[in-house]
Amino acid sequence: MDRRSFLRKAGLAGAGASAAALATPAIAQGNQTWRMVTTWPKNFPGLGVGAQRLADRITAASDGRLTVQVYSAGELVPPLQSLDAVIDGSAEMSHGAAYYWQNKSPALSFFTGVPYGMTSREMAAWVRYMGGQEIWDEIYDQFGVQGFLSGDTGTQAGGWFREELTGLDSVKGLRFRTPGLGGRVWEKLGATVTNMAAGEIFQALQSGTLDAAEFVGPYNDLALGFYQVAKNYYFPSFVEPGLATELVVNKSKYQELPSDLQAIVKDVCQAEYDQVASDFYANDPRALKTLVDEHGVNVRQFPDDIVEAGAKAAAEILGELRDSGDALTKKTTESFIESLNILRTRTEGTDGAFVEARKKYFSI
C-alpha cells in the first residue's frame, strides 16, 4: 500500500467538526453513545484499527447500552489535542499514547515507554500487578480522567534516516521526529527533536524539514510511505522497547456507568492490549520483508557509540526525574525502576537466555 493510497482511503478530515459531531451524546432508554477521539489516522494499521476494534467490542459486549463512536485524527479535534477533549468534555474517551501529554506531567511518559526500559510483558506486569495502575490513577486524577492500557507495539524500529549514521557525530544537529523520554535522550545526544502526528511526518521528511523520523515500525511505516524519501532504516529502537497505547475516559462519567459497563470497558482494554501486541508481532516482519524486497530499504543497526551514549543519557534522565521536585513524578520513577530491576531478571535471565540458545543451536 503506498502512502497516497493509504491517506486517500483514510480520509483524514480537518480540525473542524460538523454540528452533528459536536452534538450532545444520545441517551435513550438507558443506552448511551460515547465519542472516542484518537491520535491515529482512520484505518491506520495496528493503532487506528485497534482503536476502532476496541470501540466495536465495547459496543457489542454491552449489547449497545454503551455505543462508542470513533473520530480519527482531525475529525473532531486535532490529534494531539485528544486528551484535552476528554478533559474539557468535548469527548468521553481518547485513544492515544500517554507520552504525548508529558507537558502536563512528566510521569505520564512512563505509561507509554521508557528508554532502555520495560518490554510489553514487563509493562503489563508493572501496571497490573506491581502498583503502576494505582500511580497512573493518581496522576490522571488531577485532570478528572482515568487511563487504561489499550495496546502495545512491542519493541519499535529506531527510525528512518536520510543519511547513514557513522557514529555519534552523525547525530549532532540532526532534525529528528521522536516523542517522549526517548526524544529527551536524542536531545542529549545532540539531535534537534520535535513531535508531530503520524499524518504530518511524511511531508516534513519530504520537504527536508526533518532529517530523520521514527513512528512505530514496519507495519505502520510501510503505510505512511517513509521509504519513499529515506532508505536507511535502523533497528532496534533503544528508546522505545515496548510502547503502550492508552484509552482515557472521563472519570466522573465512567464512574456513573453501571458496574458491568465499567467492567466491560476495563476488560476490553486489557484484551486489546494483547490483541494489538499480537497484531504488530505478526505483521511487522512481513511488512519489513516488503520494504526490503520491493522498495530497496537498507536495514541497519545503530553504531555502538550511539547505543552506549543513549544508555548513559537514559540513566541520567531517570535520575533527573527521580530527583525532581514533583512528588508524583518521583513516586512513578521509583516504582518503575524498582519493578524493572525485578522484572528484567526474568526477561534477561530466562527469556533472553532461551532466545540466544534458539538462535545459536536450533533451525528447521
Residue numbering of the annotated binding site: 156, 177, 214-215, 240
Provide the residue count of the chain.
Answer: 364
Query: What radius of gyration do the chain's Cα atoms show?
Result: 20
Distance in angstroms (rounded) separating the CA atoms of residues 250 and 143: 9
Residue ranges of the annotated binding site for substrate are 156, 177, 214, 240
Distance in angstroms (rounded) separating the CA atoms of residues 190 and 192: 7
Q: Which amino acid is at 269?
A: C
Query: What is the number of alpha carbons within 13 Å of residue 131 lying toward its C-beta?
Result: 11
Count CB neighbours of 50 within 10 A.
Answer: 26
Exposure string of 155-189, with b = 16+ CB inside 10 Å and e = fewer, is: bbbbbbbbeebeebebbeebbbbbbbbbbbbbbbb
Structure letter (DSSP) for residue 103:
T
Quote the cell numbers at residue 82: 485528544
C-alpha pair distances (Å), 313 with each of 62, 167, 310, 340: 46, 16, 5, 17
Cβ neighbours for 190, distance < 8 A, ≥ 6 positions apart: 168, 171, 172, 173, 174
Distance in angstroms (rounded) separating the CA atoms of residues 212 and 205: 7
Residue ranges of the annotated binding site for Na(+) are 215
Q: Which amino acid is at 234?
A: Y
Distance in angstroms (rounded) separating the CA atoms of residues 346 and 106: 28
CA angle 316–125–43, rounded 5-degree value: 90
User: Could you give phi then psi for residue 315, rounded to 5 degrees?
Assistant: -65, -40
Residue 115 · residue 337 · CB < 8 Å: no
